[in-house]
Amino acid sequence: MLYALSTVLVLAAEEAEETSNVGLVLPDPYELVAGIIAFAIVFFFVWKWAFPAIDKMLEDRQRAIKGQMEDAEATKAEAHSLLDDYRKQLADAKGEAAGIINEARSAAEAMKVDIVAKAQTEAEHITTKARQDAATERDRALASARVEVANLSIDLAERVVGENLDRSVQLGLVERYLADLDRMTE
């Protein structure tokens, strides 16, 4: 490789001796003019068209991003206020529900007390009536038993005596006796 490169250098050196290559490092006038014109075209295009185009685009982009961010901000604020509203509503609803439950509970309590009281009254009433009925029944049974005893006593006495007794007089007698008996047992 080095050998090859040195050959190139030697060749170049020989050529330099043979022909002058100064022209290679000096600008060629025609190329210079072409370069000036070509660069001028590029420069004016960049200056007058490309930069304004890119500036406009950047401004549009900036505006679009700004607009979107503002929109997002507004949406966010709206969402926040909605959330607050919902929270408030939820809290109200909870309070209301608690109120309803309490009311229902107290109503139920009152109803319970009422029912129990009524039941007690009813029970007392029934008991009283039963007691009265029992007393009435006993009195009636007692009265009936008294008549029966009197009749039996008279029948027995008639058989013992062997003749008919004045039933009404005898009944009065038994009655009196039983009344005395009552007085004694009381």
Partner 1 sequence: MVDQLILASECDVANEVICAPADVKELFELPTIFHIGELAITRTILLIFLAAFIVLAILYFGLRKGSVVPSKFQAVVESLVQFVRKDVAEDIIGPDGVKYAPYLTAMFLFLLVGNLFEVTPLVNFPITSRMAIPAFLAIVTYVIFVFVGFKKNGFRYLTDIIWPKSVPIGLRWLVGVIELFSTFILRPLTLAVRLFANLVAGHLMLTLLLGSGAIFIWNFADAGAKSLVGVAWFAFGLGIYLFEIVVAVLQAYIFTLLSAVYIQSSVHPEH
* Contact pick of 2, 4, 160, 169 for partner 1 (by CB under 8 A): 4
CA dist list (Å): 78 to 28, 87, 98, 132:
71, 14, 30, 79
Q: How many CB atoms lie within 10 A of CB 150?
A: 19
* Nearer residue to partner 1 within complex by CB, 42 or 100: 42
* Contact pick of 2, 24, 160, 169 for partner 1 (by CB under 8 A): 24
* Contact pick of 45, 92, 97, 116 for partner 1 (by CB under 8 A): 45
Amino acid at the residue 123: A
CA dist 44 and 7 (Å) reads: 47
Q: Number of residues in contact with partner 1, rule: CB under 8 A?
A: 42
* Residue 53 engages partner 1 in binding (rule: CB under 8 A): yes
Window 62-101: contact mask with partner 1 (x via CB under 8 A)? --x-------------------------------------
Task: Name the residue among 182, 153, 146, 183 with its Cα closest to residue 170.
Answer: 153
Contact criterion met (CB below 8 Å) for 171 and 146: no
* Residue 25 engages partner 1 in binding (rule: CB under 8 A): yes
Output b/e per residue, 107-127; b: 16+ Cβ within 10 A: eeeeeeeeeeeeeeeeeeeee
* Contact pick of 2, 15, 100, 105 for partner 1 (by CB under 8 A): 15
* Residue 19 engages partner 1 in binding (rule: CB under 8 A): yes
* Contact pick of 17, 46, 90, 133 for partner 1 (by CB under 8 A): 46
162: left (phi over 0), alpha (psi -120 to 50) or beta: left
* Nearer residue to partner 1 within complex by CB, 26 or 160: 26
Report the interface residues with partner 1, using CB under 8 A: 1, 3-4, 7-8, 11-12, 15, 18-19, 21, 23-28, 30-32, 34-39, 41-43, 45-47, 49-51, 53-54, 56-57, 60-61, 64
